[in-house]
Amino acid sequence: KAGVTQTPRYLIKTRGQQVTLSCSPISGHRSVSWYQQTPGQGLQFLFEYFSETQRNKGNFPGRFSGRQFSNSRSEMNVSTLELGDSALYLCASSFRGDTEAFFGQGTRLTVV
Amino acid sequence: QKEVEQNSGPLSVPEGAIASLNCTYSDRVSQSFFWYRQYSGKSPELIMSIYSNGDKEDGRFTAQLNKASQYVSLLIRDSQPSDSATYLCAVNILAGGTSYGKLTFGQGTILTVHP
């Protein structure tokens, strides 16, 4: 069974640009959650999607947004990038959102 | 008080010893608890889940949950150098709104197993 796939793995962007990250969940999983991981703040929850609906949202500015498609694949978008957005972005999929969650390899975003 | 707190590290144990990792959480009604292992430069890997009070064993790993004390722990028996990693405790916090898909993580405990 294929795991969670995130693309791209690495990304370098300039301040002010926007970026889109993609996540394909494990087959059959309908819940996709996104997290930001930094050395100083650890793992922080961004948002969760289930059946194309955002059910939960963390404390991040509106520059961070996401969506989910009918095949459960999800994308997150960050607009007007800031240096502080440099982080490892992780997505996790689970069957229904309150069960075991499995992480993808992550996308390492560097903003210069 | 942080919602999920782990015992401060780093933790160093000799090969073959038992490593004990601890975690406390603030929400009395939380129902789902997880331990993840994260190697440097890699993403978190789920190693244990536990939902009810008591012990759950899987190979060399044992998770222990005490909801009354709001405490969850992970024991690693016969520790190996390959167990050296950061261990993250994660809780599905219910208080304060919907918990769907939201895991709240502790800050992690760095474990080093030396030969």
Residue B98 has pLDDT above 80, yes or no: no
Tell me, yes or no, if B43 comes closer than 8 A to chain A by beta carbon: yes
What average pLDDT score do residues B82-107 get?
A: 86
Query: d(Cα B45, Cα B20) in Å, to the nearest integer?
Result: 18
Residue B97's pLDDT is 63
Provide the mean pLDDT of chain B. Answer: 93
Q: How confident is the model at residue B108 (pLDDT cuts 50, 70, 90)?
A: very high
- The answer to whether B109 touches B87, Cβ cutoff 8 Å, is yes
Mean pLDDT lowest among A63-67, B8-12, B68-72: B8-12
The residue among A37, A41, A56, A98 with the most chain B CBs within 10 A of its CB, best to mutate, is A98
What average pLDDT score do residues B78-84 get?
A: 98
Query: d(Cα A1, Cα B44) in Å, to the nearest integer?
Result: 18
Q: Name the β-bridge partners of A49.
A: A32, A54
Token readout for B7 is 């015992």
Low-confidence residues of chain A: pLDDT under 70:
1
Beta carbons of B46 and A101 less than 8 Å apart: yes
Which residue of A56, A90, A99 is in closest CB contact with B102? A56
Sign of CA dihedral B25, B80, B83, B8: positive
Q: How confident is the model at residue B101 (pLDDT cuts 50, 70, 90)?
A: confident
Instruction: Kindly list the residues from chain A whose CB atom is less than 8 angstroms away from the CB atom of residue B23.
Output: none
A13: number of Cβ within 10 Å: 16
Which residue of A49, A90, A100 is in closest CB contact with B46? A100
Residue B100 has pLDDT above 80, yes or no: no
Token readout for A77 is 């978008």
Q: How confident is the model at residue B28 (pLDDT cuts 50, 70, 90)?
A: confident
What average pLDDT score do residues B52-60 get?
A: 96
Residue B95's pLDDT is 58
Residue B36 has pLDDT above 90, yes or no: yes
Beta carbons of B101 and A55 less than 8 Å apart: yes
Instruction: Kindly list the residues from chain A whose CB atom is less than 8 angstroms away from the CB atom of residue B36.
Output: 103
Query: d(Cα A59, Cα A57) in Å, to the nearest integer?
Result: 7
Which residue of A42, A55, A102 is in closest CB contact with B46? A102
Residue B93 has pLDDT above 90, yes or no: no
Distance from CA of B17 to the nearest CA of A (A): 28
